[in-house]
Amino acid sequence: MKIKFYFTPILLIIISFISCTSEEEKRKNEINEQSKEILSAALDEIITYKLPLYSEDLMKEYLKISTDRAELGLEYAKKIKYQVIIMKQVKDSILQVKQDSIVKATEIAEKKWESTKAGQIHKKHPNWSKEECELLAARKIWIGMNLDMLKYLRGNPNHANPSNYGNGTEWQWCWDDYSPSCFYGKDDGIITAYN
């Protein structure tokens, strides 16, 4: 029985030493897991946002630091996470400034265009495309333009002659003092030919 008495305290000391070591090891593993999660999320954002940081170098440095002390590895991971957050904010700010500049430049160009002859035509006839208004400002004619566009350039035709040969009404619109003088189309007013 006396052997048991002496043996029990020694056994308790050994067990408590082992449990302390395993508690310390458990705590270290928890810290390492936490730091790996933080660093992994940061590395994902570096790739996603194409930030100018080298993931491999950061990982190597982390492994060097965390091998000696888990707490230092956690601090390093938190610093990288913070750096990534700041870099994302800076990148987002730069993108916003670029977008704002593009919008501003577009607005300035639009106002400048509105003051041109084509812009004034478009203001009077918003259903006409900008390209059509540019052509009209240059006094161009084309197949596919509509009769109202021709009237805008030339006024009302001197002659409007309908004809029907079984395919619906076809029109000939003629202006005596212009060349080409006659334009052809259907009731929809789209010019299909001219001479």
Residues 122 and 187 in one domain: yes
Q: Looking at the structure, do residues 128 and 157 belong to the same domain, yes or no?
A: yes
Domain boundary among 97, 125, 155: 97
Q: How far apart are CA 129 and CA 117, in angstroms?
A: 14
- With tokens 């002496």, the residue in question is 6
- Same structural domain for residues 66 and 33? yes
- Provide the pLDDT confidence category of residue 136 given band limits of 50, 70 and 90: very high
| % of the chain residues with pLDDT over 70 | 89
Report pLDDT digits (tens) over 77-107.
999 999 999 999 999 999 999 999 999 999 9
In a domain, 41, yes or no: yes
- One-letter amino acid for residue 41 of the chain: A
Domain end residue (candidates: 37, 62, 97): 97
Selection from 139, 145, 121, 148 nearest residue 178 by Cα: 139
Claim to verify: residue 123 and residue 84 sit in the same structural domain: no
Enumerate residues 6+ apart whose C-beta is below 8 A from 77.
Answer: 35, 36, 38, 39, 42, 62
Residue 1 pLDDT grade (very low, low, confident, very high; cuts 50, 70, 90): very low
CATH classification of the domain holding 121: 3.30.1450
Identify whether residues 139 and 63 lie together within a single domain: no
Domain count across the chain: 2
Sheet holding 182-186, edge to edge: 159-164, 169-174, 182-186, 191-194
Helix, strand, coil content of the chain in percent (nearest 5): 65, 10, 20
Q: What's the gap between Cα 93 and its chain centre?
A: 14
Pair (83, 34) in one structural domain: yes
**Residue 43 domain-assigned (yes or no):** yes
**Average confidence score pLDDT of the chain:** 89
Element (H, E) at 173: strand 169-174
pLDDT for res 114:
95
Taking alpha carbons only, the member of 83, 68, 82 closest to residue 32 is 68
Of the two residues 152 and 16, the one the predictor is more confident about is 152
How confident is the model at residue 4, as a pLDDT? Answer: 47
Residue 67 banded pLDDT, cuts 50, 70, 90:
confident
The verdict on 93 and 121 lying in the same domain is no
Judgement on whether residues 20 and 90 belong to the same structural domain of the protein: yes
More confident residue, 141 or 165: 141
Residue ranges making up the domain that contains 157: 117-194
103 within a domain of the structure (yes/no): no
Residue 111, in any domain of the structure: no
139 in the same domain as 64: no
- With H, G, I as helix, E, B as strand and everything else as coil, classify residue 115: coil
pLDDT at 25 over 80: yes
Tell me which residue has tokens 């084509």.
118
Res. 19: pLDDT tops 80? no
Which of residues 167 and 88 earns the better pLDDT score?
A: 88
Q: Is residue 86 part of a domain?
A: yes
CA separation for the pair 32, 101 (Å, rounded) = 45
